[in-house]
Amino acid sequence: MRSRICLVTGASSGIGAETALGLSRAGARVGIVGRNHERVRAAADRIHAETGGKVDVFVADLSAQAEIRRLAAEVLALYPRLDVLVNNAGAIFDTRSLTADGLERTWALDHLAYMQLSLALLERLKASAPARIVNLSSAAHTRGRIALDDLNSERSFGGMKAYSQAKLGNLLFTYALSRRLEGSGVTVNAVHPGVVASGFTKNLNGALGLFWSLIRPFLISTERGARTSLHVATAPGLDRVSGRYFARSRETASSQRSRDCALQEQVWAASLEQLGLAEVV
């Protein structure tokens, strides 16, 4: 990975920080994105202290579309090339709320942000080909249902329901984008990191929060959780592998629903509309 430039979102802690650390160990220059400047700066300092590598800090709230546009502009201004984009940022919430754009925040942060940032950086990735996009999905996608007529969860909201829908959205986006990138030299794949003892459940209270606190001792470490992302981002044999789903660093089958091409295109179109974008690939 020497001379490569990689960008990892949600990298101030947890799986994202471990992914950035692994990429830096492999010799890459790494950009890390988080919401809080002090936490992102501390994570960058830790990575640099361990690896001696170049680590760049970007601060953005990826639930806000204006923040993603600003982030993309900063990345494009700083990096003449971009070899790997890891869309890792995400969270689960037990109460419904809307973002600055008027969108349900789980869907906005865990799905739409992946799509918006990937598309904003796509031309730089193509110019840097071979390049890779890695989307963190989850086995929770198997329980996901896409409510095309209720993406803002106005009629019905549940924390795990919204999270599972967004993680299914990651796969639908991955597969739809992969078709559009055929022959470009840019691959896009999705991963399930495992059930990890990270901070993504920190927003939970009530029964759902209690459940996660009880099972936390049995979850895998963030270091193990980052292994599949690192494998898909760096393995030499995956240069031409695209539109796949990986778990435990192995290609595996995603749900039948996620492989529904008609649904992939419906969600692609609905997401572009929510982002205010035209077809850009």
The residues that are catalytic are: 163
Contact 107, 90 (CB under 8 A): no
Three-class SS state of 228: helix
Q: Kind of pairing, strands 245-247 and 250-252?
A: antiparallel
* Dihedral pair phi/psi, residue 203, rounded to 5°: -85, 0
Contact 89, 71 (CB under 8 A): no
Structure tokens at 48: 């640099």
Query: How would you label 55-78 residue by residue, b for 16+ Cβ within 10 Å and e otherwise?
Result: bbbbbbbbbbbebbeebbebbeee
Contact 72, 118 (CB under 8 A): no
